Amino acid sequence: MATPTKNILLDDQLCFALYTANKRFNHFYAEALAPFKLTYPQYITLLALWENSPMTVRELGSHVNLDSGTLTPLLKRMQTQGWVERNRDETDERQVNISLSQKAIDAKTDIFNHVNSCMELLGMDQKTYDNARDTVNFASERIKNADPKKIDYTGTEV
């Protein structure tokens, strides 16, 4: 059941809307997190660790949707900046456990308060915010479950 696209207009494309929103959110968060000298990937790493610390690099990567090639240098920088601690697992040296530093624990409330005050700038009530998030998550799941190999070059399903 392919959805026909009469004209491929840029502003009519879901992919472009998501791409644009992603770029804008990245810029927004760069500004919001600047006082803490955190990047967005570092922020989501802290969010995951505030929920469950310690975690192995593999568990953390799965949680924040980053591969180890991206996550390992990010974690090294975060350790240098004093946000996390990295320790080899005592029973399996191949695994590295990531835990929050005292700095990260102490800064949690300040970071949350700052980000929450920035989110108020979006002018969305909680229901609108939740609906927007749910719609994006729905689209993300549909994309994840779609098999582009089943589409032929004419745009019809194979």
pLDDT at residue 93, rounded to an integer: 76
Round the CA-based radius of gyration of the chain to a whole number and report it.
20
State the average pLDDT over residues 49-78. 94
**CB-based contacts of 97: which residues, under 8 Å, 6+ apart?**
54, 55, 56, 86, 87, 88, 89
The band of 152, judged by pLDDT with boundaries at 50, 70 and 90, is low
The CATH code for residues 10-128 is 1.10.10.10
The band of 86, judged by pLDDT with boundaries at 50, 70 and 90, is very high
81: phi then psi, degrees, rounded to nearest 5:
-80, -5
pLDDT at residue 70, rounded to an integer: 92
Distance CA 103, CA 70 (A): 23
pLDDT at residue 117, rounded to an integer: 85
The band of 104, judged by pLDDT with boundaries at 50, 70 and 90, is very high
pLDDT at residue 3, rounded to an integer: 59
* 0.85 exceeded by pTM: no
The mean pLDDT value of the chain amounts to: 88
74 contacts 119 by C-beta, under 8 angstroms: no
Q: 53-64 burial, b if ≥16 CB within 10 A, otherwise e?
A: bbbebeebbebb
Comparing 24-33, 36-45, 72-81, the range with the smallest average pLDDT is 24-33
pLDDT at residue 57, rounded to an integer: 92
Reply yes or no on whether the pLDDT at 92 is more than 90: no
Per-domain boundaries in the chain: 10-128
pLDDT at residue 77, rounded to an integer: 96
Provide the β-strand partners of residue 96. 88
